A and B are shown apart, each in its own frame.
Chain A
Amino acid sequence: MSDVGENDGEGPRSARSALRRTDGELVLLWTLPASAIIWIGAFLLFPGFTPPMSPTMTAEQVAAFYRDNQAAIRSSMILFNWFGVCLVPVLILIVMQIRRMAHRTPIFSYCMLGCIAGGPTLFLIANVCWLLAAFRPERKPELTQLLNDFAWITFTTVVPFLIAQSVILALAIYFDDQSQPVFNRWVAHFNLLIAAALVPAAFVGLALTGPLAWDGALSFWLKNIAIAVWIVVMGVVLGQAVYRERAEQRQRVEERVAA
Chain B
Amino acid sequence: MSAVATQTASPLTRRHNPKRELWLAWWTLVVFYNFFFLVFFVITRVQPPPNPAWDTPRVVQWFHDNHFGLLAGFAIMFVITGMTTMSNALIAYSMRRMSVSRAFAYSYLILYSLSAIPGMLLMCIALTIGALRPDRDPELIHWIYDFAFLSFVGTMGVFLIGSLVWMLAILIDKNRVFPKWFGYLNLCNGLTEIVVSPAWIFRGGVLAWNGQIAWWLDMVVFGIYTGVFIFLLRQMIQREDFGTGPLPELSKAAL
Residues of A within 8 A of B (CB): 1-2, 55, 103-108, 110-115, 117-118, 121-122, 125, 142-143, 145-146, 149-150, 153-154, 157, 159-165, 167-168, 171, 175, 177, 199, 201-206, 208
Contact = CB atoms under 8 A, between A and B. Distances in A.
A259 to B, nearest CB: 28
B128 interface: yes
Given A105-B21, A206-B72, A157 B128 contact: yes
Interface stretch (B91-99, B159-167, B179-187, B197-205): B91-99
Contacts, number: 143
B113 interface: yes
* A interface, over-half SS: helix
Interface stretch (B50-58, B76-84, B219-227): B76-84
B14 A146 contact: no
Contacts of A121: 114, 117
B140 A160 contact: no
Given A115-B82, A122-B121, A153-B132, A143 B140 contact: yes
Secondary structure at chain B's binding surface: helix, strand, loop or mixed? Answer: helix
A213 to B, nearest CB: 10
Nearest to A172: B21
B136 A142 contact: yes
Nearest to B88: A114
Among A108, A150, A205, the most chain B Cβ lie within 10 Å of the Cβ of: A205
Contacts of B116: 118
B129 A160 contact: no
A163 B129 contact: no
B109 A114 contact: yes
B243 A157 contact: no
Contacts of A107: 21-22, 24-25, 86, 89-90, 93
Contacts of A1: 96-97, 242-244
A164 B126 CA distance: 22
Interface string B166-210: 000000000000000000000000000000000000000000000
28 contacts: A1-B97, A104-B18, A107-B22, A107-B89, A110-B89, A110-B93, A110-B109, A111-B85, A114-B85, A118-B82, A118-B114, A125-B117, A142-B137, A153-B125, A157-B124, A159-B78, A160-B77, A160-B78, A160-B79, A163-B82, A164-B81, A168-B85, A171-B24, A175-B21, A202-B76, A202-B79, A205-B70, A205-B75
